[in-house]
Structure 1
Amino acid sequence: MTKAFGKLAAVEARLFLREPVAVFFVVVLPLGLLLALGGTIPGFRDADPALGGQRYVDAPFTGMMILLSIVTLAFSTLPSALVLYRERGVLRRMSTTPVRPGSLLSAQLLVNVVAGVVATALTLTVGHLVLGVPLPGAPLAFVAVFVLGSVAMLALGLLLAAVAPNSRVVQGAGAALMFPLLFIAGMWLPPQLMPELLRRISDFTPTGAFGRSLVHTLGGQAPEPLHLAVLAVWALAAGLAAARLFRWQ
């Protein structure tokens, strides 16, 4: 069974790599934005007293680029693939074989997690080598936040796949959710510049809690317990709802 799952995961990985749009938005775009904006906009490279002397390109912007990769996987790549498989009857046909539909779901999750890890590693490594972006100042806390946040995001992606009736709806709904959630996380307006009410709302959203925790751990600070609790609640609630509502056919 383990051998069959390994082959299935390898097939899913090849299919993922054959989708240039997915690879671009998950890996190339965040890294390109980091290099293009971080390397050309002077304000990104200047020490900011409001950030404790850090540059904006260091923890804040790098954290947002990592968040962009994971959110793209969760709200676009993963649910689109699963809904398309359901539309085409792949999951239904697999239920009659030794390789159950749950194996395909697990393989999809594994491929998306690996893609997120690769994108994050490239962003950190290239940012460090080219722009001098420091590596995570609290590496163990960063890994813990990355895992918890990724679980929460992918659980939301599974929930989206569970309730979307077809591939067209899931793509539109994913985009409709993704951009507001990125905005409230601080992608275009840093949290410290948000009105107090919007900042408090951001603390309780999955992307806001994930983004703030990434920025804190990249800068060498401990994540706030509130943000960790918010991510855990979102991961548990979305995961349970997805398991209850998911349809194989």
Structure 2
Amino acid sequence: MSTATLRRTHTAVLKAEARLFTREPAALFWILAFPTLLLVIIGCIPVFREPSPDLGGLRTVDLYVPIAILLATITSGIQSMPPLLTGYRERGILRRMATTPMKPGALIGAQIALHGAAVLASALIALAVGRLVFGVALPRQLGGYLPALVLAALSALALGAAISAISRTTKITQAVGSAVFFPAMFTSGVWLPVAAMPGTLRDIVGLTPFGASARALDQAAAGQWPGWTHLAVTAVWTVVLVAFARRRFTWE
């Protein structure tokens, strides 16, 4: 198959998967709307709009913008994508594609691209609502915010691929995803911002991909370059999870 033909094939797969993705209102709500809705709920509580000395003069709502973004990455990578991939495998779609010039990797790549795009859109919505509604400052270190966001999204998608790799059925994927989802929410700071955690707990959480991402995004939002340790932790988790998923993932 020529390069041009291969490119057209991948484009066709991406368009087909995009049409299917837009027909899933529940997934779109939880990825695009729910994180910002949580931000609005937090921002509507008066005490959370007041500067806190314990947070270095920041407001709780200021910290919840990156948390909302991380929640979108977690929902997309852990709750939305794995059941789709496992469902394709369970119904034999990946096995049949493996026997054709259009390899199943094109379908998986399309899902990763679509979920990554959804995370980016959700991040833009959260940043816009935070700025326009609650006066949250835009990231002061945009050059550091972008790689931190990309790494956070990649780590979530890698974790989702690993979940799909070890789950034989869609029901198992959903059960495993739910079991991982709530600890991921905790480490990203949904219930308690990572910056407000006690020192020891904050250090432990910082060793997880979403805890490290939360620290990196907070630093970039404040105008600092994200700590290389936080970026490295997220990157290492991503590489390890991708390697594990590639080793364990089967087409049937």
TM over 0.5: yes
Does the 8 Å contact 2:70/2:152 carry over to 1?
A: no
Greater CA drift, 194-203 or 69-78:
194-203
Does the 8 Å contact 2:141/2:221 carry over to 1?
A: yes
2:26 pairs with one of 21, 25, 45: 21
1:10 pairs with one of 15, 33, 36: 15
Hey, what does 2:3 align to over in structure 1? none
* Runs of 5+ unmatched residues, structure 1: none
Give 4+ residue runs of structure 1 displaced > 4 Å after superposition: none
Hey, what does 1:121 align to over in structure 2? 124
User: Offset at 1:234?
Assistant: 0.3
AA aligned to 1:169 is I
Hey, what does 1:49 align to over in structure 2? 53
Hey, what does 2:114 align to over in structure 1? 111
Describe the shift of the 1:70–1:192 C-alpha distance in structure 2 as closer, same or farther (beyond 3 A). closer
TM-score by length of structure 2 reads 0.94
TM-score by length of structure 1 reads 0.95
Query: How far apart in 2 are the matches of 1:199 and 1:206?
Result: 13
Query: How far apart in 1 are the matches of 2:53 and 2:200?
Result: 24
Map of 1:63-82 to 2, 5 A cutoff?
63-82=66-85
Identity %: 40
User: Offset at 1:212?
Assistant: 1.5
Does the 8 Å contact 2:36/2:126 carry over to 1?
A: yes
Does the 8 Å contact 2:151/2:235 carry over to 1?
A: yes
Does the 8 Å contact 1:75/1:157 carry over to 2?
A: yes
User: Offset at 1:172?
Assistant: 1.1
Does the 8 Å contact 1:184/1:198 carry over to 2?
A: no
**RMSD value, Cα:** 1.3
Query: How far apart in 1 are the matches of 2:12 and 2:228?
Result: 40
Map of 1:164-183 to 2, 5 A cutoff?
164-183=167-186
Query: How far apart in 2 are the matches of 1:219 and 1:10?
Result: 38
Does the 8 Å contact 1:69/1:119 carry over to 2?
A: yes
User: Offset at 1:137?
Assistant: 1.0
* Runs of 5+ unmatched residues, structure 2: 1-5
Does the 8 Å contact 1:152/1:206 carry over to 2?
A: yes
Does the 8 Å contact 1:78/1:157 carry over to 2?
A: yes
The DSSP-based 3-state class of the residue aligned with 1:188 is coil
Query: How far apart in 1 are the matches of 2:150 and 2:187?
Result: 21
